Structure 1
Amino acid sequence: MNLLNLIRWKNLLMIVLVQMLIKYALLEPFGVQTALDGLGISLLIIATVCIAAAGNIINDIYDVETDSINKPDKVIIGKTISEKTAYNFFIAFNLIGVAFGFYLSHKIGRAPFFSIFVIISILLYVYASYLKRTLLIGNFVISVLVALSIIVVGVFELLPTLNSGNRVTQVLFFKVILDCALFAFAINFLREIAKDIEDIDGDYKTQMNTLPLAIGRERAKNILSILNFVPLGALIFYVNSNFYKQPIAVGYLLLFVVGPLIYIVIKTFSAKLKSDFRHLSTMYKWTMLFGMLSLLLYKFVILN
């Protein structure tokens, strides 16, 4: 159980869910030409999850001092799992992920795609060891990597089968995947800022350069409050443009995605305590989850 908590199994399950939704709720029901069979998508999921797990482990290794202040009850490294053992797991998960990525890239005849897994693995290490301590750059990079865990499905499924005969269809579905990735990027970026505000005490003592430390907790909260309107406005526009003829889809998105975002906007303005920002972080995760589940609604849009 300690290992599962170390690799943040709940976050990994979301990766599995989203990649399966793209394959089995978005692409296959419409007969889109794809490159991966059942085994192929399974290998892609395993590769992505393993590299993400390795990233979570190295992040915890470098965050032991910070976490001992911000969340001492959740520190695993050095307590239930030694740092040496954690490093071994980090190396093992990376090797598995990269190896599966190498095999899969050659299996679909796109050997250069292998570099995606190597780049993500390197970026996760650089993020944990350095970028996380730089102003907003770390927030941006980790959010890009979250988006890439979605885009990678489109890259492996659609690009290898792209030709002049199916270009319109392939591009249409790739754009849908990009829309989901952009939503995930935006929500995760906001969540990272909320987490920085929540963890300001530990980050200060470990000399990290986060937004709330650079400009103050209150100013950072005000910026977060303003930034919350970006995905909210974009989502309202997206729903109005693509789902306006489908009341069930509109109802779902308004109730489970737009509604929580409005709630987040209101709660951010009034947030003051550490617990308030922890609550906001949780709400961002739920909003992202329900946003990803909206992939089940695209059959109402694409077929009508």
Structure 2
Amino acid sequence: MDLLEISKKNTKKNKPLYIKILSLFSVVRGYNILLIIIAQYLAAVFIFSPELPLKKVLFDPNLYFIVLATICVVASGYIINNFYDAEKDSINKPIKSKIDSIVDQKTKLKIYFFLNFIGVLVAFLVSWRAALFFSIYIFLIWLYSHKLKRYPLSGLFSAAVLAILPFFAIFVYYKNFSEIIFTHAAFLFFMLLIRELIKDLLNLKGDFAQNYQTIAVKYGEHFTKILITFIVVLTLNPIYFLLQYPEIGGMKYYFYVVFLGLLIFLGLLWFNNTKRNYGILHLILKMLIVAGVFSLALIDYSVIIDRILLK
């Protein structure tokens, strides 16, 4: 048995560097981080500072530092989440779990602390308030990974709030307190709640085995579906109000697609209980959220050229 363990350790150590980099990319979910970068810049350009020249927003060093701090802190958040969820993920996501385990836990923790240090340091270049914000954000991510996600309501709401916080940093930086921003935030918040509940259904087996008291584990699949349906209905409210704003421009077509997509989503939710179906539902939500990020570019598209020409 000892020889077998030594053999496994040696196999891990002998992995090529590019394999370890790919494993780390999987752990920090590099594709999600890339999406966050795009989303922050598009939100800054089209929602938080629509009156500023495009060049001034894109080349703002403070915005760059906020985005860089976000990258570091979110990446470290995925690492600590992966650290605490290792056993659960080996049940729910066996293939991804094997890829993630190529980099040992000790190395992951070193990278976790390094990224947090860099994130706070970069935030200091903006202001001490920004550094304080990201320090609190780091603590909240750790608290969520270590404790909050194991309980029904705290796990559900904290996951959605933590996903929105990177945009809150930009929101505070530009001090834009318009109604349309809060309505967008409400829409995104409800979509994230739905996604978290679908993840609970998708990961039911592993959550139950590791005693994670999610809503799906504690109250069952039927109640979770009722709650998802209720939140979908709530989501229609910000969609309705956003469609009343002429400022959203071509993004209105995105909300029409979301409306149709959510109806299809509900049909699939209630007429199939398989894990494969929950995976499809999760994919639908991810596609709608990703499409929402890129559809931000459709806001006020008629004045984009004017903003490019402004000095």
Alignment RMSD, CA only? 2.6
Say which of 224, 230, 233 aligns to 1:226.
230
- The letter of the residue matching 2:252 is V
Aligned equivalents of 2:248, 2:35: Cα separation in 1: 29
Aligned equivalents of 1:244, 1:88: Cα separation in 2: 46
Aligned equivalents of 2:254, 2:206: Cα separation in 1: 39
Say which of 164, 168, 172 aligns to 1:155.
172
Deviation at 1:197, TM superposition (A): 0.9
Deviation at 1:145, TM superposition (A): 1.4
1:184 paired residue number: 188
Deviation at 1:78, TM superposition (A): 7.2
Aligned equivalents of 2:84, 2:36: Cα separation in 1: 23
Indicate conservation of the 8 Å contact 2:23/2:101, yes or no.
no
Deviation at 1:35, TM superposition (A): 8.8
Deviation at 1:275, TM superposition (A): 1.2
Deviation at 1:282, TM superposition (A): 1.5
Structure number, greater radius of gyration:
2
What TM-score does the superposition give when structure 1 sets the normalisation length? 0.84
1:261 paired residue number: 262
Indicate conservation of the 8 Å contact 1:211/1:220, yes or no.
yes
The alpha-carbon distance between structure 1 residues 266 and 79, as it changes in their structure 2 partners (threshold 3 A), is: same
> Aligned runs of 1:79-90 on 2, under 5 Å?
79-90=101-112
Aligned equivalents of 1:252, 1:193: Cα separation in 2: 23
1:280 paired residue number: 281
> Aligned runs of 1:234-273 on 2, under 5 Å?
234-239=238-243, 241-243=244-246, 248-255=250-257, 257-273=258-274
Aligned equivalents of 1:185, 1:93: Cα separation in 2: 27
Question: In the alignment, is residue 116 of structure 1 matched against residue 133 of structure 2?
Answer: yes
The alpha-carbon distance between structure 1 residues 67 and 207, as it changes in their structure 2 partners (threshold 3 A), is: same
1:52 paired residue number: 74
Deviation at 1:28, TM superposition (A): 5.4
2:126 paired residue number: 104
The alpha-carbon distance between structure 1 residues 294 and 243, as it changes in their structure 2 partners (threshold 3 A), is: farther
Aligned equivalents of 2:141, 2:116: Cα separation in 1: 11
- The letter of the residue matching 1:197 is L
The alpha-carbon distance between structure 1 residues 292 and 36, as it changes in their structure 2 partners (threshold 3 A), is: closer
Gaps of 5+ in 1: 106-110, 160-169
The alpha-carbon distance between structure 1 residues 114 and 79, as it changes in their structure 2 partners (threshold 3 A), is: closer
Indicate conservation of the 8 Å contact 2:184/2:238, yes or no.
no
The alpha-carbon distance between structure 1 residues 129 and 75, as it changes in their structure 2 partners (threshold 3 A), is: same
Matched residue SS, 2:273 = coil
Deviation at 1:252, TM superposition (A): 3.7
1:164 paired residue number: none
Indicate conservation of the 8 Å contact 1:148/1:181, yes or no.
no
What TM-score does the superposition give when structure 2 sets the normalisation length? 0.82
Indicate conservation of the 8 Å contact 1:222/1:269, yes or no.
no
Deviation at 1:38, TM superposition (A): 2.8
Indicate conservation of the 8 Å contact 1:26/1:296, yes or no.
no
- The letter of the residue matching 2:280 is H
Deviation at 1:74, TM superposition (A): 0.7
Q: How many residues align?
A: 282
Aligned equivalents of 2:137, 2:251: Cα separation in 1: 34
2:221 paired residue number: 217
Aligned equivalents of 1:89, 1:235: Cα separation in 2: 40
The alpha-carbon distance between structure 1 residues 251 and 95, as it changes in their structure 2 partners (threshold 3 A), is: same
2:63 paired residue number: 41
Deviation at 1:195, TM superposition (A): 0.5
Indicate conservation of the 8 Å contact 2:77/2:138, yes or no.
yes
Higher deviation after alignment, 225-234 or 78-87: 225-234
Aligned equivalents of 2:205, 2:299: Cα separation in 1: 43
Aligned equivalents of 2:277, 2:292: Cα separation in 1: 22
Gaps of 5+ in 2: 1-21, 305-311
The alpha-carbon distance between structure 1 residues 71 and 35, as it changes in their structure 2 partners (threshold 3 A), is: closer
- The letter of the residue matching 1:112 is R
Deviation at 1:154, TM superposition (A): 1.6
Question: In the alignment, is residue 13 of structure 1 matched against residue 14 of structure 2?
Answer: no
Aligned equivalents of 2:123, 2:292: Cα separation in 1: 27
Say which of 54, 62, 66 aligns to 2:88.
66
Deviation at 1:244, TM superposition (A): 9.9
**Identity percentage over the alignment?**
27
Indicate conservation of the 8 Å contact 1:140/1:189, yes or no.
yes
Aligned equivalents of 2:228, 2:237: Cα separation in 1: 15
